[in-house]
Amino acid sequence: DALRERLAGGVEGLLCMLTDPVGADLIAAAPDLRAVSTYAVGTDNIDLAAAAERGIPVGHTPDVLTETSADLALALMLAVMRRIPAGDAEVRAGEWLTWEPARLLGHDLHRATVGIVGLGRIGQAVKRRVEGFGARVVHSGRTDGMPVEQLLEEADVVTLHCPLTDATRGLIDEAALRRMGPDAYLVNTARGPVVDTDALRRALEEGWIAGAALDVTDPEPLPADHPLLSAPNLVVAPHLGSASHETRAEMADIAVDNLLAGLAGTPLPHRAN
């Protein structure tokens, strides 16, 4: 409603975030809109076709956040596999009284098979990182790699780096989670709706998988009283994939450059539609 009110009269450019829904109705309600630029790489919040019908270019910020997002995926992977948040919580609660051989045992990344779903820019950057740890890597992509079902059965860690499309929405559902073993981990730094939230909650509560680490959720933001947050062996970050000083500054520059180019009627440096 706020966006519609602001766009109603005379506004020619929109600089939005990934949490702003820019659908066909909103575009139709902005008669003077000539350019849209999103401060993100993903564009699933924008109706690209509706913008194209109006001749409105849509800019986004690819490439610049690839390495930073891959860093976070690796951090989440290590955090959930080695139970770092649980250990931190025990220390802060005064429960770290002595060293015990079987206390807070996790699993090794260097011994693991890591399954990457979506071997695009970020997926390839994650591949380089986990191979540096000595992990074995398998992948599933749109045109190459193994079937997702086989990957789920082989991988000790499944890390998601696919875009949100009709084909990937709900990709990790109950059937997919049951294919993973009780010692397997799920990492999602792609988009929340790629994972069935309720199925993931049950998978963690009933021990279908060992744990999960999420930078994205469905819904997002995740309410503090959401049932998923009571599930065991879960790490959740508030969508920090690109959250470094350096990367966010570069994203801002690109987003503004895209918008200024669109308003000037020149080609956008990074156009999505």
Q: Which residues are catalytic?
A: 191, 220, 239
Q: 13 CB contacts (<8 Å, ≥6 apart)?
A: 33, 34, 35, 36, 37, 259, 262, 263
Q: Which amino acid is at 212?
A: A
Q: 148 CB contacts (<8 Å, ≥6 apart)?
A: 117, 140, 171, 176
- DSSP letters, 70-137, are HHHHHHHHHHHHTTHHHHHHHHHTT---S--TTTT----STTPEEEEE--SHHHHHHHHHHHHTT-EE
Strands 113-117 and 157-160: parallel
Measured CA to CA, the distance from residue 60 to residue 45 in angstroms comes to 12
Query: Angle of helix 66-81 relative to helix 121-132, nearest 10 degrees?
Result: 50
Measured CA to CA, the distance from residue 102 to residue 201 in angstroms comes to 26
Which DSSP category does 228 fall into?
G
> Comparing C-alpha atoms, which of 126, 89, 125, 86 is closest to residue 105?
86
> 58-84 burial, b for 16+ CB within 10 Å, e for fewer?
bbbbbebbbbbbbbbbbbbbebbbbbb
